[in-house]
Structure 1
Amino acid sequence: MKALVLSGGAGTRLRPITHTSAKQLVPVANKPVLFYGLEAIAEAGITEVGIVVGDTADEIREAVGDGSRFGVEITYIAQHAPLGLAHAVLISREFLGEDDFVMYLGDNFIVGGITGLVDGFRASRPAAQILLTQVPNPTAFGVAELDDSGRVVALEEKPKVPKSDLALVGVYLFTAAVHEAVRAIEPSWRGELEITHAIQWLMDKNHDVSSTTISGYWKDTGNVTDMLEVNRAVLESIEPCTQGSVDEASEIIGRVRVEEGAQVVRSRIVGPAIIGAGSVISDAYVGPYTSVSEGCRIEDSEIEYSIVLRDSSITGVRRVEASLIGRGVEVTPAPRHPAAHRLVLGDHSKVQISS
């Protein structure tokens, strides 16, 4: 069995971070989201992995390499434009051959991995197996309609009027039957070859399509809110460890990981939190659910429920929370000018100004 990992999307919902970085490489608990998926694939006993890459191909290649660090062998597959999940399968035909495969969206996160799912698929081998989960906003996802017996009867991509609240999770399992399906379908109104249409084609041709509804933790990390929530979930399970230095004037509370070369000086850190290698926390407060990457500096500031990417600094800022801060960023107080407001307002405007 092989794996096909999709890492070619533009990540528009995470801009401006993704103007300069692949969305699959934004770190969660100081490890790129993509790495969690590759580790889950390796744990399931799959060693041949194809990664579909687009405009950020060089960055993905540099981060992942040949896959040896994960115990897998990587083949890179170029996709000239993000033309849909089924298009990714279509262009990967040579790599996939006639083998069964798992398709894993590189920006998705599933707690607990996929080993049980893969083992179940290997035993029953339907033409396709999908994962479903209840979501509050099904219009943003592919949605499945089930009959009274719980069997999938229809799929629809981002419907305006959803027939259920069951969204497709970004992990799919297929036999080689899917190759005929992706060749048979036409682009959707979005101009993409939709994987939901390919699976619907399989059902229309009486192929066996099974589904599993999961109640565990799953997130599509395509926006800042979900990225911070995944970071929170991962930090919940970290083990406390101090490899760097913490002076006597500092206080460490709860599950906190201070990585090698990091320094904590006259500061208070309340976990779960992680301080990356070589970072300096000085006269500061780092609150729960915060990941500080390597080479950062937080001084005379407070931060909580946030992700700070490498080589960034936050100095003299009273409070930062629920934030995603990119690489090489400098956050400082605004200059102190006389308190005044300069306004250019159109007719019938309403303005609220705090006193």
Structure 2
Amino acid sequence: MKIIVPMAGLGSRLRPHSLTIPKPLIPVAGAPIVHRLVRDIAKILKQPIDEIAFVLGDPTFFGDAVIAQLEELAESLGAKASIYRQGAPLGTGHAIMSAEPSLSGPAVIAYADALIRADLELDPEADSVIWTKKVPNPEAYGVVKLNEKDEIVELVEKPETFVSDQAVIGIYYFKDVAVLKEKLQEVLDENLMNGGEYQINDGIKKMMAEGRIFKTGTVDEWMDCGNKEVAIDTNSKMLQFLHDEKEEQLIADTVVNKNSTIIEPCFIGENVVLKNCTIGPGVAIGAGTTIEDSTISHSLIQQDSVIKNAQWTEAMIGNKVQYNGEHTRVSLGDYTVMK
């Protein structure tokens, strides 16, 4: 089994936090988004992962340090890492075709901008499985249309009339991804574009037109990380899942706690110092950060920052930030100084 991860986007909706770190590498609940996504998919698949192909963007932004981190991630799952570049932002289909040498055999394609919780089995009769989430407002999403056999027969973008409440979340399984490659090549050859981009949906529609069987795989939770507000919400939800599952140590042994209260669930990294604070619930704090005289809940704080006199809820703070103030809702990128 392979996992293909297109992650070349700039993450503009998550700025300023994505100005210095690619969005898929921003930590949520103590680990980068792409790390959590890939590991959760591997757990769901319940079979060995041979290769993980990452499709990156501009090498000046997705440089050697990023590649090294992704190679380490693949190796931790016993897989080979393959690195590809998408030279221009020409859509989801174009991103997948940028990994053309790896497009063979069974594969999962997953876009690295959301996290999931699921316990599902891949249908052995299906040529492809499109993972979906039941939503209360399907008119805001791309959804699947099903026939009487619960097979997907159409993809409908933001339907004005009800089609189904199963929203496409951007994770796909293909029994042989080479079939998708063939159809996406046809999309490129025909210059078939939507919104100026080559889309995966057009390749999928060509597969459907040939009678390929598509089924749904419904996830229990689909947690977006696209902007500051939803990333903070996802952080809180993921911390609660991790706390309940008890599979990860969330509070490091090296945390220095001086007259502070921690309200779980929280993630608190190595060598964090807390002085006269109330932290939590729903707070993630990166390694090496010091927080003093503060009350913080439902917030994301990255590494090596110094925070004093903060009264925060729903805050998102980058790396190496210095803050001393009385603001209550903030979003500060790396190296910000407020005194």
Q: Would the TM-score normalized by the shorter structure come out above 0.5?
A: yes
Partner of 1:351: none
The yes-or-no answer on 1:224 pairing with 2:217 is no
Give the aligned residue type for 1:60.
Answer: V
Highest Rg: 1 or 2?
1
Judged with a 3 Å threshold, the aligned counterparts in structure 2 of structure 1 residues 225 and 187 are, in CA distance, closer, same or farther, namely farther
The yes-or-no answer on 1:83 pairing with 2:90 is yes
Runs of at least 5 residues in structure 2 that lack an aligned partner in the other structure: 328-339
Partner of 2:337: none
Quote the offset at 1:187 in angstroms. Answer: 4.2
For the residue of structure 2 that corresponds to 1:9, the secondary structure is: coil
Runs of at least 5 residues in structure 1 that lack an aligned partner in the other structure: 241-254, 336-355
Residue identity (%)? 29
Give the aligned residue type for 1:93.
Answer: E
Q: CA–CA distance in 1 between the matches of 2:25 and 2:77?
A: 15
Partner of 2:184: 182
Q: CA–CA distance in 1 between the matches of 2:17 and 2:102?
A: 31
Length, aligned pairs only: 312
Q: CA–CA distance in 2 between the matches of 1:308 and 1:197?
A: 40
How do 1:38-187 and structure 2 match up within 5 A?
A: 38-43=38-43, 44=46, 45-55=48-58, 56-58=61-63, 59-66=65-72, 67-96=74-103, 98-112=104-118, 116-117=120-121, 120-121=122-123, 123-124=124-125, 126-138=126-138, 141-158=141-158, 163-174=163-174, 175=176, 176-185=178-187, 186-187=191-192
Query: How big is the alpha-carbon RMSD for the aligned residues of Structure 1 and Structure 2?
Result: 2.5
With normalisation by structure 1, the TM-score equals 0.80
Quote the offset at 1:162 in angstroms. Answer: 6.7
Give the aligned residue type for 2:132.
Answer: L
Q: CA–CA distance in 2 between the matches of 1:322 and 1:141?
A: 26
Give the aligned residue type for 1:152.
Answer: I
Q: Deviations over 1:92-150 (max 9, x none)?
A: 22122x3121111122211146xx44xx25x32x3321112122454554322223543
Give the aligned residue type for 2:83.
Answer: Y
Q: CA–CA distance in 1 between the matches of 2:319 and 2:249?
A: 22
Of 217, 221, 224, 1:212 maps to 217
For the residue of structure 2 that corresponds to 1:288, the secondary structure is: coil
Partner of 1:292: 285
Quote the offset at 1:47 in angstroms. Answer: 2.1
How do 1:194-273 and structure 2 match up within 5 A?
A: 194-214=199-219, 216-238=220-242, 257-273=250-266
Q: Deviations over 1:149-206 (max 9, x none)?
A: 4332211345676744321122101122112211222443321111122111211222
Q: CA–CA distance in 2 between the matches of 1:284 and 1:236?
A: 21
Give the aligned residue type for 1:279.
Answer: V
Judged with a 3 Å threshold, the aligned counterparts in structure 2 of structure 1 residues 50 and 211 are, in CA distance, closer, same or farther, namely same
Of 317, 322, 347, 2:314 maps to 322
Give the aligned residue type for 1:68.
Answer: E
Q: CA–CA distance in 2 between the matches of 1:334 and 1:285?
A: 15
Judged with a 3 Å threshold, the aligned counterparts in structure 2 of structure 1 residues 167 and 41 are, in CA distance, closer, same or farther, namely closer
Judged with a 3 Å threshold, the aligned counterparts in structure 2 of structure 1 residues 141 and 183 are, in CA distance, closer, same or farther, namely farther
The structure with higher relative contact order (CA 8 Å, sep 6+) is 2
Quote the offset at 1:256 in angstroms. Answer: 8.8
Q: Deviations over 1:296-320 (max 9, x none)?
A: 1111111100110111222112x10
Q: CA–CA distance in 2 between the matches of 1:162 and 1:79?
A: 36
Q: CA–CA distance in 2 between the matches of 1:238 and 1:205?
A: 42
For the residue of structure 1 that corresponds to 2:303, the secondary structure is: coil
Give the aligned residue type for 1:146.
Answer: L
